[in-house]
Amino acid sequence: MAIAARGAERGEAVVREIEALGGAALFVATDVSQAEQVEALVARTVERFGRLDFGVNNAATIEEGFARTADLTEEQFDRSIGFNLKSVWLSMRAEIRQMLAQEPKGGAIVNTSSVNGLGGVAMASFYAAAKAGILGLTKSAAIEYMALGIRVNALVAGAFRTPMLERAMELATGGKLDAHAAMSERWKQAIPAQRIGRPEEAAEAVVWLCSDAASYVTGHSMIVDGGLSAPYR
């Protein structure tokens, strides 16, 4: 397994965890919004493991903050769309090219979208636009490459207890602990499951989409959100 991220410390920690369980892993420090770094990542992966069977594209940022659409800048648009959407296309492009070049051809790709991509999101229009764009990219590529042995699906993620969710709540509440706790509680109340999801629950869906059990599944937007979006879809 090859792992890519901008943060080397966390990436190397995951590699050690996988190796402790008897697996083989490689970490490659990568900014997936940069084409040459994505291409180098795929090359390193193939060099180490011989081929590329699966690609999971799971990059996102909310560091542009929260503001009304007309109050955002062109620079913020470029950064947000570049990292949240362009990064997925760059990764898909490199992965698909490798999957078509290897013998036997084929593989499976899962792109992480969000329930925010299913509709509009006040104060986060760029993020919503990017996540909606991922669904369009996923479905288009699925149509183009299924006959060539490549399946492409999307994970439409709800709220999961991750550092990114914690950071989003921190930004939204100005770092105030009482407001942060209140926002977390509101999230729970809005979710029919009455809790924020565990990252492992998202991972299980991704593993299934990559597996042979999903061999007839492509172009699918798999919503994993504890029922959060059920009233709106």
How far apart are the C-alpha atoms of 89 and 133, rounded to whole Å? 10
| Residue written as token pair 């770092």 | 175
Is residue 221 within 8 A of residue 119, CB to CB? The reply is: no
How far apart are the C-alpha atoms of 86 and 81, rounded to whole Å? 6
Is residue 118 within 8 A of residue 132, CB to CB? The reply is: yes
How far apart are the C-alpha atoms of 131 and 203, rounded to whole Å? 18
Of 127, 145, 216, 232, catalytic: 127
Task: Look up 127 and say whether it is catalytic.
Answer: yes
How far apart are the C-alpha atoms of 229 and 233, rounded to whole Å? 7
- Cα of 202 vs its chain's centroid, Å: 10
Name the 3-class secondary structure at 109.
strand
* Euclidean distance between the first and the last CA atom of the chain, given in angstroms as a whole number: 35
Q: Residue 232: CA atoms inside 13 Å, Cβ hemisphere, count?
A: 14
- Strands 150-157 and 221-224, by their bridges, are parallel
Q: What are 224's strand-pairing partners?
A: 157
Catalytic center residues: 127
